[in-house]
Structure 1
Amino acid sequence: MSTFAVFGMTTDVALAEARKTVKTTKPSVKAGCPPLELTQAEWNLAVEHQAAKIMAGEKVKQLSQMFDAPQYAQQFMELARKTGKCRDLRIRAKCEITDAEGEPVINQKTKMPRVVWVDYLPLAINAA
Protein backbone atom coordinates (compact mmCIF):
# COMPACT_ATOMS: atom_id res chain seq x y z
CA MET A 1 0.00 0.00 0.00
CA SER A 2 1.47 3.37 -1.03
CA THR A 3 1.38 5.69 1.92
CA PHE A 4 4.23 8.22 1.61
CA ALA A 5 4.40 11.38 -0.52
CA VAL A 6 6.46 14.58 -0.74
CA PHE A 7 4.68 17.87 -0.03
CA GLY A 8 6.07 21.37 -0.54
CA MET A 9 6.27 24.07 -3.19
CA THR A 10 8.57 24.49 -6.18
CA THR A 11 8.85 27.34 -8.65
CA ASP A 12 7.45 25.15 -11.43
CA VAL A 13 4.34 24.27 -9.40
CA ALA A 14 3.90 27.91 -8.31
CA LEU A 15 4.18 29.07 -11.92
CA ALA A 16 1.63 26.50 -13.10
CA GLU A 17 -0.79 27.52 -10.34
CA ALA A 18 -0.28 31.21 -11.17
CA ARG A 19 -1.06 30.56 -14.85
CA LYS A 20 -4.37 29.01 -13.81
CA THR A 21 -5.40 31.88 -11.54
CA VAL A 22 -4.23 35.04 -13.35
CA LYS A 23 -6.96 36.48 -15.57
CA THR A 24 -6.36 37.70 -19.11
CA THR A 25 -8.48 40.83 -18.59
CA LYS A 26 -8.38 43.82 -16.27
CA PRO A 27 -11.28 46.07 -15.25
CA SER A 28 -11.82 49.14 -17.40
CA VAL A 29 -11.35 52.66 -16.05
CA LYS A 30 -14.83 53.82 -17.06
CA ALA A 31 -17.93 52.36 -15.46
CA GLY A 32 -20.11 50.31 -17.79
CA CYS A 33 -17.33 49.57 -20.28
CA PRO A 34 -16.20 46.03 -21.02
CA PRO A 35 -12.98 44.81 -19.37
CA LEU A 36 -9.70 45.43 -21.16
CA GLU A 37 -7.60 42.58 -22.54
CA LEU A 38 -4.05 42.23 -21.20
CA THR A 39 -1.20 41.99 -23.66
CA GLN A 40 0.98 38.87 -23.56
CA ALA A 41 3.79 40.79 -21.84
CA GLU A 42 1.43 42.23 -19.19
CA TRP A 43 -0.07 38.80 -18.55
CA ASN A 44 3.40 37.19 -18.24
CA LEU A 45 4.41 39.88 -15.74
CA ALA A 46 1.23 39.31 -13.72
CA VAL A 47 1.89 35.55 -13.73
CA GLU A 48 5.45 36.09 -12.47
CA HIS A 49 4.21 38.35 -9.65
CA GLN A 50 1.55 35.80 -8.65
CA ALA A 51 4.13 32.97 -8.70
CA ALA A 52 6.43 35.03 -6.45
CA LYS A 53 3.52 35.54 -4.01
CA ILE A 54 2.82 31.81 -4.00
CA MET A 55 6.47 31.00 -3.32
CA ALA A 56 6.52 33.53 -0.46
CA GLY A 57 3.36 32.05 1.08
CA GLU A 58 2.81 29.02 3.28
CA LYS A 59 0.61 26.86 1.06
CA VAL A 60 2.06 23.48 0.08
CA LYS A 61 0.93 20.90 -2.46
CA GLN A 62 1.60 17.23 -3.06
CA LEU A 63 4.59 17.21 -5.40
CA SER A 64 5.16 13.50 -5.89
CA GLN A 65 3.18 10.39 -6.52
CA MET A 66 2.69 8.06 -3.55
CA PHE A 67 5.58 5.82 -2.54
CA ASP A 68 5.71 2.50 -0.71
CA ALA A 69 8.62 3.49 1.53
CA PRO A 70 9.92 6.78 2.94
CA GLN A 71 13.40 6.35 1.44
CA TYR A 72 11.91 6.71 -2.06
CA ALA A 73 10.24 9.94 -0.98
CA GLN A 74 13.58 11.08 0.44
CA GLN A 75 15.23 10.43 -2.94
CA PHE A 76 12.50 12.48 -4.64
CA MET A 77 13.13 15.36 -2.20
CA GLU A 78 16.86 15.32 -2.95
CA LEU A 79 16.16 15.38 -6.69
CA ALA A 80 13.67 18.24 -6.31
CA ARG A 81 16.24 20.28 -4.36
CA LYS A 82 18.79 19.80 -7.15
CA THR A 83 16.47 20.79 -9.99
CA GLY A 84 15.31 24.20 -8.83
CA LYS A 85 14.12 26.53 -6.12
CA CYS A 86 11.81 24.88 -3.60
CA ARG A 87 10.57 25.42 -0.07
CA ASP A 88 9.00 23.49 2.81
CA LEU A 89 9.73 20.04 1.40
CA ARG A 90 8.54 17.34 3.77
CA ILE A 91 7.47 13.73 3.69
CA ARG A 92 3.93 12.96 4.78
CA ALA A 93 2.29 9.62 5.43
CA LYS A 94 -1.35 8.60 5.22
CA CYS A 95 -2.56 7.53 8.67
CA GLU A 96 -5.86 6.71 10.33
CA ILE A 97 -7.12 9.19 12.92
CA THR A 98 -7.56 7.70 16.39
CA ASP A 99 -9.38 9.04 19.44
CA ALA A 100 -8.05 9.27 23.02
CA GLU A 101 -8.62 5.55 23.64
CA GLY A 102 -6.74 4.57 20.47
CA GLU A 103 -9.87 3.59 18.56
CA PRO A 104 -10.08 4.72 14.92
CA VAL A 105 -12.40 7.67 14.21
CA ILE A 106 -15.16 6.49 11.88
CA ASN A 107 -16.52 8.67 9.05
CA GLN A 108 -20.30 8.76 9.53
CA LYS A 109 -21.00 8.85 5.79
CA THR A 110 -18.79 6.01 4.62
CA LYS A 111 -18.54 4.00 7.87
CA MET A 112 -14.79 3.67 7.23
CA PRO A 113 -11.90 4.95 9.37
CA ARG A 114 -10.87 8.54 8.57
CA VAL A 115 -7.48 8.82 6.86
CA VAL A 116 -5.39 12.02 6.70
CA TRP A 117 -1.87 13.11 5.70
CA VAL A 118 0.46 13.64 8.68
CA ASP A 119 4.12 14.66 8.74
CA TYR A 120 6.40 11.63 8.74
CA LEU A 121 9.08 11.69 11.42
CA PRO A 122 11.58 8.83 11.12
CA LEU A 123 12.44 7.05 14.34
CA ALA A 124 15.95 7.82 15.50
CA ILE A 125 17.59 4.51 16.37
CA ASN A 126 21.04 4.80 17.89
CA ALA A 127 23.34 1.95 17.00
CA ALA A 128 25.41 0.88 19.96
Structure 2
Amino acid sequence: MTTFAVFGMSENWAREEAKEHTPTFKNENGKRVDLTVSQWEAEVEVEVEVEVEVEVEVQIAKIMAGKKCVRLSPMFDAPQYAQQFMEMARASIVCRDLKIRTKAVMVDAKKKPILNAKTGAPKVGFADWTPEKSFAA
Protein backbone atom coordinates (compact mmCIF):
# COMPACT_ATOMS: atom_id res chain seq x y z
CA MET A 1 0.00 0.00 0.00
CA THR A 2 1.66 3.21 -1.14
CA THR A 3 0.70 6.01 1.19
CA PHE A 4 3.73 8.29 1.66
CA ALA A 5 4.93 11.06 -0.66
CA VAL A 6 7.25 14.08 -0.50
CA PHE A 7 5.66 17.49 -1.01
CA GLY A 8 7.43 20.80 -1.51
CA MET A 9 8.56 23.09 -4.30
CA SER A 10 11.52 22.67 -6.63
CA GLU A 11 13.05 25.15 -9.04
CA ASN A 12 12.40 22.78 -11.97
CA TRP A 13 8.71 22.57 -11.14
CA ALA A 14 8.56 26.35 -10.70
CA ARG A 15 10.27 26.83 -14.08
CA GLU A 16 7.71 24.56 -15.79
CA GLU A 17 4.85 26.46 -14.18
CA ALA A 18 6.40 29.76 -15.27
CA LYS A 19 6.64 28.46 -18.85
CA GLU A 20 2.92 27.81 -18.77
CA HIS A 21 2.40 31.52 -18.19
CA THR A 22 4.84 32.68 -20.90
CA PRO A 23 2.75 34.11 -23.75
CA THR A 24 2.62 32.37 -27.11
CA PHE A 25 2.37 35.66 -28.97
CA LYS A 26 4.09 39.00 -29.17
CA ASN A 27 2.96 42.47 -30.11
CA GLU A 28 4.63 44.12 -33.07
CA ASN A 29 3.51 47.63 -34.02
CA GLY A 30 0.27 47.17 -32.10
CA LYS A 31 -0.61 43.90 -33.86
CA ARG A 32 -0.73 40.50 -32.20
CA VAL A 33 1.57 37.96 -33.86
CA ASP A 34 1.07 34.33 -32.85
CA LEU A 35 4.23 32.24 -32.51
CA THR A 36 4.70 28.68 -33.69
CA VAL A 37 5.97 26.10 -31.22
CA SER A 38 9.51 26.31 -32.54
CA GLN A 39 9.41 30.12 -32.46
CA TRP A 40 8.08 30.05 -28.89
CA GLU A 41 10.83 27.63 -27.82
CA ALA A 42 13.38 29.92 -29.47
CA GLU A 43 11.86 32.90 -27.63
CA VAL A 44 12.07 31.00 -24.35
CA GLU A 45 15.74 30.19 -25.02
CA VAL A 46 16.45 33.81 -25.95
CA GLU A 47 14.55 34.98 -22.89
CA VAL A 48 16.66 32.78 -20.67
CA GLU A 49 19.72 34.72 -21.77
CA VAL A 50 18.24 38.21 -22.24
CA GLU A 51 16.33 40.58 -19.98
CA VAL A 52 12.93 39.54 -21.39
CA GLU A 53 13.40 36.38 -19.31
CA VAL A 54 13.25 38.62 -16.26
CA GLU A 55 9.47 38.13 -16.31
CA VAL A 56 9.83 34.35 -16.20
CA GLU A 57 12.62 34.58 -13.60
CA VAL A 58 10.42 36.89 -11.52
CA GLN A 59 7.61 34.35 -11.80
CA ILE A 60 10.00 31.58 -10.72
CA ALA A 61 11.16 33.71 -7.80
CA LYS A 62 7.53 34.39 -6.83
CA ILE A 63 6.69 30.70 -7.01
CA MET A 64 9.77 29.72 -5.01
CA ALA A 65 9.01 32.41 -2.41
CA GLY A 66 5.34 31.47 -2.18
CA LYS A 67 3.59 28.95 -0.02
CA LYS A 68 2.42 26.56 -2.73
CA CYS A 69 3.61 22.96 -2.36
CA VAL A 70 3.16 20.15 -4.85
CA ARG A 71 3.90 16.44 -4.84
CA LEU A 72 7.49 16.02 -5.98
CA SER A 73 7.96 12.29 -5.50
CA PRO A 74 6.22 9.09 -6.45
CA MET A 75 4.26 7.29 -3.75
CA PHE A 76 6.29 5.20 -1.30
CA ASP A 77 5.41 2.22 0.87
CA ALA A 78 7.33 3.38 3.94
CA PRO A 79 8.33 6.78 5.32
CA GLN A 80 12.05 5.94 5.33
CA TYR A 81 11.99 5.79 1.51
CA ALA A 82 10.35 9.21 1.40
CA GLN A 83 13.04 10.45 3.82
CA GLN A 84 15.76 9.13 1.50
CA PHE A 85 14.10 10.92 -1.42
CA MET A 86 14.07 14.16 0.58
CA GLU A 87 17.78 13.85 1.39
CA MET A 88 18.67 13.21 -2.27
CA ALA A 89 16.47 16.10 -3.42
CA ARG A 90 18.08 18.53 -0.98
CA ALA A 91 21.53 17.46 -2.15
CA SER A 92 20.84 17.61 -5.88
CA ILE A 93 18.24 20.30 -6.68
CA VAL A 94 17.11 23.71 -5.46
CA CYS A 95 14.01 23.09 -3.37
CA ARG A 96 12.10 24.37 -0.36
CA ASP A 97 9.59 23.22 2.25
CA LEU A 98 10.10 19.48 1.75
CA LYS A 99 7.84 17.42 3.96
CA ILE A 100 6.41 13.94 4.05
CA ARG A 101 2.67 13.56 3.74
CA THR A 102 0.54 10.49 3.96
CA LYS A 103 -2.91 9.55 2.73
CA ALA A 104 -5.45 10.03 5.50
CA VAL A 105 -9.16 10.52 6.03
CA MET A 106 -9.95 14.23 5.85
CA VAL A 107 -11.51 15.66 9.01
CA ASP A 108 -13.31 18.90 9.82
CA ALA A 109 -12.58 21.32 12.69
CA LYS A 110 -14.38 19.05 15.16
CA LYS A 111 -12.19 16.09 14.11
CA LYS A 112 -15.13 14.34 12.44
CA PRO A 113 -14.51 12.69 9.05
CA ILE A 114 -15.69 14.60 6.00
CA LEU A 115 -18.10 12.38 4.08
CA ASN A 116 -18.72 12.31 0.36
CA ALA A 117 -22.27 13.57 -0.15
CA LYS A 118 -22.95 11.13 -2.96
CA THR A 119 -21.52 7.89 -1.57
CA GLY A 120 -21.33 8.54 2.17
CA ALA A 121 -17.73 7.29 2.24
CA PRO A 122 -15.08 9.36 4.03
CA LYS A 123 -12.95 11.59 1.80
CA VAL A 124 -9.26 10.74 1.59
CA GLY A 125 -6.53 13.34 1.10
CA PHE A 126 -2.95 14.08 2.15
CA ALA A 127 -2.01 15.05 5.71
CA ASP A 128 1.37 15.95 7.17
CA TRP A 129 3.18 12.95 8.62
CA THR A 130 5.24 13.13 11.78
CA PRO A 131 7.24 10.18 13.08
CA GLU A 132 5.92 8.55 16.20
CA LYS A 133 8.09 8.66 19.29
CA SER A 134 9.90 5.45 19.99
CA PHE A 135 10.11 4.14 23.53
CA ALA A 136 12.82 1.58 22.76
CA ALA A 137 15.94 1.65 24.89
Give the TM bin, normalised by the shorter chain: 0.7 to 0.9
Residue identity matched to 2:31? P
| 1:25 counterpart residue number | 25
* Structure 1 pair 24–105 and aligned structure 2 pair: CA distance change class (3 A): closer
Q: TM-score, normalised by structure 2?
A: 0.76
Partner of 1:12: 12
Q: Provide the secondary structure at the position in 2 that maps to 1:123.
A: coil
* 2:91 maps to 1:82: yes
Give 1:43 deviation, angstroms.
6.8
Alignment of 1:1-128 (within 5 A): 1-26=1-26, 33-35=30-32, 40=43, 41-42=46-47, 45=53, 46-98=55-107, 100=110, 104-128=113-137
The structure in which a higher percent of residues are helix is 2
Report SS of the residue matched to 1:35: strand
Is the 1:93–1:117 contact (alpha carbons within 8 Å) kept by the matching residues of 2?
A: yes
Give the C-alpha shift of residue 17 in structure 1. Answer: 1.1
Could you state the TM-score of these two structures normalised by the residue count of structure 1? Answer: 0.81
Which consecutive unaligned segments of at least 5 residues does structure 2 have? none
CA distance in 2, matches of 1:111, 1:43: 51
- Deviation sequence 1:55-106 (CA, Å, 0-9, x none): 1111111001111111111111011111111100000011013464x76432
Instruction: Write out the 4+ residue segments of structure 1 that deviate beyond 2 Å after TM superposition.
Output: 24-28, 33-39, 41-44, 46-49, 97-100, 102-105
Residue 2 of structure 1 deviates from its aligned partner by 1.1
Indicate how the Cα distance of structure 1 residues 52 and 103 shifts in structure 2: closer, same or farther if over 3 A, else same. Answer: closer
In 1, Cα distance between equivalents of 2:26 and 2:96: 31
**Could you tell which deviates more after superposition, 109-118 or 85-94?**
109-118
Q: Identity across aligned pairs (percent)?
A: 48
Please tell me the residue identity of whatever aligns with 1:109. K
